[in-house]
A and B are shown apart, each in its own frame.
Chain A
Amino acid sequence: MKVKVVTNILEANDRIAAENKKIFDEADVYVINIMSGPGAGKTSLLERTIRGLDGAMKIGVIEGDIAGTDDAERIGKLGTPVIQINTGGGCHLDANMIREVLDDLPLKDLDLLIIENVGNLVCPAEFKLGEDMKVMLLSIAEGHDKPLKYPLMFQESSALLLNKIDLLPYTNVDMEKIKKDSLSLNPKLKIFEVSCKTGEGISGWTTWLQSLVKK
């Protein structure tokens, strides 16, 4: 016999994400999920953000990588509480991976928790982790065709940071096209142009982030 099921296949993940969100809210910690392709500069952005907000708030980090602990070691050097998750081949973090490490973080002492997702422009956008907002990082050298090639990532994010603007003189990237296409996909997207290498534009980002965390 035929039976109607009508269930979202990601339901199990969404349920755990909702539980994570409740834990974060109870601990009064603001959570952002940072996503980008490999090598766009997520860990460098974390270092700049942590330094930029030093003293203003207490930050914790969850690092997601397929393998290795390089990123967590970089963040640990700044004195920031950090947990490394290795997905062992998995192309994204999911809500359950986050749930399993929450007890190892001093959540109640934190104002802001930054989750660095696995470098991938496709899958991380589909899996809720329990975050307050998703933030996307695109390095300008990746090319101006990315918004329309990977629309979901741009649609799901609240902010887009365009990194490596120090490389602008050496590329033929069309910044206006990136911004126009991104805003067409997501008119509410907040866009920042930054260089994690020189520090240019970082204060605009950290000031905005601070205004959200303090709410």
Chain B
Amino acid sequence: MHEVSIAQGLLDIAIKSCTKQGYGRIDSIKVKVGKASGIVPDSLLFAFEALKSGTMADKAVLTIEEIPVSGFCKKCSKKFTVEEAYVISCPVCGSTSFDVETGRELNIDEMEVF
């Protein structure tokens, strides 16, 4: 719902980091977005395309890697991954005692700069 402000945030961080390292152009940015982060990838891409014009990321391609929700069950000691944006029980043994390990990411991972 607020992908525009997220896209602006990622653009700001990318430009700041690029300038700080002495480069002047961003060609690509890769971000990791967890399925439980509440962000819709298509909306983020759309917002990024609209916001990048006129910046040093004008030609930059945004790639989004979606990270599924995964966890570790404390009862059966198995790692698991689920399709949904949440876990309510271990899909292997049904236990409700587990740690969620991935799925909330909203990170810039890497970028190509020149």
Contact surface of A with B, Cβ cutoff 8 Å: 1-13, 90-92, 94, 120, 122-123, 125-126, 148, 151-152, 155, 181, 184-185, 187
Could you tell me if B86 and A185 are in contact, using CB atoms closer than 8 angstroms? Answer: yes
Could you tell me if B110 and A5 are in contact, using CB atoms closer than 8 angstroms? Answer: yes
Could you tell me if B2 and A5 are in contact, using CB atoms closer than 8 angstroms? Answer: no
Could you tell me if B113 and A9 are in contact, using CB atoms closer than 8 angstroms? Answer: no
**Chain B contacts for A125, CB-based, 8 A:** 38
Could you tell me if B110 and A2 are in contact, using CB atoms closer than 8 angstroms? Answer: yes
**Chain B contacts for A152, CB-based, 8 A:** 36, 38, 85
Contact surface of B with A, Cβ cutoff 8 Å: 1-2, 5-6, 9-10, 12-14, 17-18, 21, 31, 36-38, 85-86, 88-89, 96, 106-114
Main secondary structure of the interface of A (DSSP, over half): mixed
With contact pairs A3-B17, A9-B9, A126-B38 given, residues A155 and B86 touching in the complex (Cβ less than 8 Å): yes
User: How far is A4 from B17 in the complex, measured between Cα atoms in Å?
Assistant: 10
**Chain B contacts for A94, CB-based, 8 A:** 5
CB of A23 to closest CB in B, whole Å:
23
**Chain A contacts for B17, CB-based, 8 A:** 3, 5, 7
CB of B32 to closest CB in A, whole Å:
9
Closest to B12 in A: A12
**Chain B contacts for A184, CB-based, 8 A:** 88-89, 96
CB of A1 to closest CB in B, whole Å:
6
Could you tell me if A8 and B107 are in contact, using CB atoms closer than 8 angstroms? Answer: yes
9 contacting pairs across A/B (C-beta < 8 A): A1-B112, A5-B111, A6-B109, A7-B13, A8-B107, A9-B13, A125-B38, A152-B36, A152-B38
